[in-house]
């Protein structure tokens, strides 16, 4: 979502502090989470801006493991003709249980992957999407797609598939600015950049990403 200086800054009634844009308060975690999607019981944590990469990798790893388990069961059960592939009654029952669990997990992770993909493409998280559908305001959404570098970082494509923390180009912007002062500062920079471009002058703040590129101080309080 593009920052608008006319938009009032919201406060969290639970934390009694500034609420970053697109964030929500989680009653289970008892804190506000930047760009919160939902609270995941499988990860025992909220899914937000700081750990969306880990959640996506968790779904992909689980999906691949289910596919491998079903493939091995199918190969050994239907295509193996050697004497070592004889299935006893116990093995048959275990194979059936494993097949049911793997199939259910495969369908569930597939639906979650599609849900996350839709959220990335539209920029609307699960909680916001449910609220907008309830109020019938989906067509009025102003959210923008989430850039892949704001999920997997800028460390390189080879780090995307490893469960390591991403390095963001602009930590403040990804986390939604943790204080009102930092948000107001960024809004003023965008205003000055816009006025400088219209008058032919160059803003002293560059492209609005900060004087030194990124900020790495107290914004980590909203990392999930």
Catalytic residue from among 15, 26, 32, 40: 40
Residues sharing a CB contact under 8 Å with residue 223, sequence separation 6 or more, in sequence order: 34, 49, 50, 51, 175
Q: Which region, left, alpha or beta, applies to residue 52 given φ > 0 means left and ψ of -120 to 50 means alpha?
A: alpha
Q: Is 67 a catalytic residue?
A: no
E strand or H helix that includes residue 30? none
Q: What are phi and psi of 31, to 5 degrees?
A: -165, 165
Contact between 193 and 203 (Cβ < 8 Å): yes
- How far is it, in rounded angstroms, from Cα 112 to Cα 110? 5
33 strand-pairing partners: 24
Which residue has tokens 């009634």?
Answer: 13
Catalytic residues: 40
């Amino acid at each position: 979502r593009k920052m608008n200086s006319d938009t009032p800054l919201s406060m969290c009634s639970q934390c009694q502090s500034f609420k970053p844009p697109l964030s929500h308060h989680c009653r289970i975690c008892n804190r506000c989470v930047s760009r919160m999607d939902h609270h995941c019981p499988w990860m025992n944590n909220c899914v937000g801006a700081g750990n969306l990469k880990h959640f996506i990798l968790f779904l992909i790893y689980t999906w691949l493991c289910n596919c491998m388990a079903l493939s091995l069961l199918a190969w050994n059960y239907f295509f193996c003709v050697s004497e070592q592939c004889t299935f006893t009654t116990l093995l048959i029952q275990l194979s059936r249980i494993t097949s049911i669990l793997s199939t259910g997990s495969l369908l569930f992770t597939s639906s979650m992957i599609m849900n996350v993909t839709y959220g990335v493409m539209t920029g609307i998280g699960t909680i916001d999407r449910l609220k907008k559908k309830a109020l019938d305001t989906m067509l009025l959404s102003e959210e923008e797609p989430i850039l892949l570098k704001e999920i997997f970082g800028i460390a390189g494509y080879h780090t995307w598939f490893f469960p390591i923390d991403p390095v963001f180009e602009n930590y403040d912007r990804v986390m939604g600015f943790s204080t009102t002062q930092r948000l107001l500062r960024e809004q003023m920079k965008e205003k000055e950049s816009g006025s400088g471009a219209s008058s032919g002058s160059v803003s002293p703040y560059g492209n609005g990403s900060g004087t030194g590129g990124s900020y790495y101080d107290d914004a980590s309080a909203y990392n999930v």
